[in-house]
Structure 1
Amino acid sequence: MTARSIIDHHVKQACETNRFEHKDQVLRFAVKMTAAVTIIADILNLAAHVSLNALGLLPYALLPAAIVGLVISTVVASVLTFSVIYVIGLAIHRLTISRAMFERLSRTDMLSGLLNRRAFVDEVSKAPQDASLVLFDIDRFKFINDTYGHDVGDRAICMVSRQLAATLSDKHIVARIGGEEFAALIVELTPTERLALVERCRQMIEASNVGDDVAHLRVTVSAGIAERSSHDTFQSLFLRSDRALYLAKASGRNRVIHSDQVQELMDKSGEGLYAS
């Protein structure tokens, strides 16, 4: 394997495995490759001197000629190799950072900073079965926009996003899936604990201010929750959560309804709010 093929192999490997995410990785790789190429160059240089001497074609004594040759090959190979590899590494580093940023932006809702709908569905597909899907919806959001303006509406979305992100730790998945709609997949707790955590989210949002200039405005959310283990497909799970959310909104808003409660509440109301 030639020095060129070795460099080509390692550069391709670095591109494929994101080994150049940090500049210190670039430096270490450049030093490692420089050492490898320099050693190969010195071996080839020495072999050439020995061969020429054996054929009687070397015009100088072997030892001094080999020493001079090794010094020259070491300096030239190390300087050129390090310069080329380090420049290439920095270029790959910038491409890696750009790619990571693009991927992050493509998965992030720009207003809230949460995952977007596409990223949420991707993450849910990899999450454990023992989890609860929660759909949140800001109550009377159209009234907020019409009365206070879209700027206040955006601030309400950001406030809800912050509270959901703060209350639901990193192990849970939180996303903004549409205008005033949010979704969360809560994991690693019992169903009762997950329901209590959703209720805590509702309370934290209700207790939060959108801003001093609208301190009298209290933003609330309604939520519907369903257990993932009870559904074979994400669509079925989503529809059950959405049904519970609908009933929470129709029952007066600012409340959490579990999908297991839907039929019982509908029977009590006698209104058939949502066809089963």
Structure 2
Amino acid sequence: MRISLQAELGDFQDRHTIYVFALKMSFLAVTLSSVVILLILPPLDFMGVLPVPLADGVVYGVVLSWLIGGTVSSVLSLVAGHAMHQLSVSRAEFEQLSRTDVLSGLLNRRAFTEALEQADGDACLAIFDVDRFKAINDRFGHACGDAVIVAVSAILAAAFDGRSVAARLGGEEFGAIVVGGSQEQRIERVQSVCARLAGQPIAADNCVVAITVSAGIADLGGGRGKAGAYSAADKALYLAKALGRNRVVHENEGLHPGWRRHLPQDAAAARAMSADCDEARLA
């Protein structure tokens, strides 16, 4: 019974399993009681303490074990099965909540990190950041800021489904594992999402907000460490911010020496832009 119970423990998501579990437990309980009766009655008959003939005692014992023992064990098994069903459902709901960002409904950072560890091959990591999000909160209020997060999340969830996956990494920062296609096709998918976000004003809480999103991309696969890919995507995002926001930058662009000509030549302007980027990233 203990082995059977252990085998059933992880599979109580539906009520059909409860009834199957109760039936199995009842059958095992009645079978065990019948065996016990068959082992006990012969010694009792030998000692002369059995009030009925041995054959009748065996029949009575087996019948009563099926009627009484079967009924009692069925009821107890159903009660235990329902309790384990509730426990299983609660555990599944808790696991879902622990992996989901409450506001956006997307995966949270923990679940995204787990998905990133399993990603390989024809895939890339994209990190998105809503431009000047702190200014949106300051001007329109946090309710409007939350509406922006929800709207962005809905578009990312629709754009990266199936084998791809999207997540909210924290604040106004999102991540996506883009799977399939060539490198150019994956970059185009990210660019298309950013363009859609920029062309779709968000109405909420008596305000209409036009947003832009910057993104950094790093390739996965080829035995590359996931921490290295995340760092590369983050640096590419920083470069997208430094180049003026509302753009997508692949990690390879940061390796090209020509990109530096797009940055301010004046050191003071560069420091100001750097500080502005930091504020935007941390907002």
TM-score by length of 2: 0.84
Matching residue of 1:70: 62
> The residue matched to 2:221 in structure 1 has which SS?
helix
Cα distance between partner residues in 1 of 2:225 and 2:196: 31
Alpha-carbon deviation of 1:270?
5.7
2:262 to 265, 269, 272: 269
C-alpha distance 253-235 of structure 1, shift in aligned 2 (>3 A): same
2:103 to 95, 111, 123: 111
State whether structure 2 residue 17 is matched by structure 1 residue 61. no
Tell me the percent identity.
Answer: 36
1:156 to 131, 148, 173: 148
- Any unmatched runs of 5+ in structure 2? 275-283
- Any unmatched runs of 5+ in structure 1? 1-5
1:107-146 aligned at under 5 Å gives the runs 107-146=99-138
Alpha-carbon deviation of 1:216?
4.4
Cα distance between partner residues in 2 of 1:33 and 1:108: 37
C-alpha distance 189-67 of structure 1, shift in aligned 2 (>3 A): same
C-alpha distance 12-212 of structure 1, shift in aligned 2 (>3 A): closer
Partner amino acid, structure 2, of 1:208: Q
Alpha-carbon deviation of 1:27?
1.5
Alpha-carbon deviation of 1:22?
2.1
Cα distance between partner residues in 2 of 1:50 and 1:203: 86
1:181 to 173, 186, 189: 173
State whether structure 2 residue 157 is matched by structure 1 residue 165. yes
> The residue matched to 2:33 in structure 1 has which SS?
helix
C-alpha distance 249-147 of structure 1, shift in aligned 2 (>3 A): same
Alpha-carbon deviation of 1:157?
0.4
Cα distance between partner residues in 1 of 2:23 and 2:225: 51
State whether structure 2 residue 9 is matched by structure 1 residue 21. no
Alpha-carbon deviation of 1:204?
2.4
C-alpha distance 67-76 of structure 1, shift in aligned 2 (>3 A): same
Cα distance between partner residues in 2 of 1:21 and 1:208: 40
Q: Deviation digits for residues 154-204 of structure 1, max 9, x if unmatched?
A: 000000000000011131121111110001111232212211111121122
State whether structure 2 residue 75 is matched by structure 1 residue 83. yes
Matching residue of 1:3: none
Residues 135 and 242 of structure 1 are in contact (CA less than 8 Å); yes or no, is this contact kept in structure 2? yes
1:240-259 aligned at under 5 Å gives the runs 240-259=232-251
Partner amino acid, structure 2, of 1:121: T
TM-score by length of 1: 0.86
C-alpha distance 236-271 of structure 1, shift in aligned 2 (>3 A): farther
Q: Give the number of aligned pairs.
A: 266
Alpha-carbon deviation of 1:113?
1.0
C-alpha distance 110-219 of structure 1, shift in aligned 2 (>3 A): same
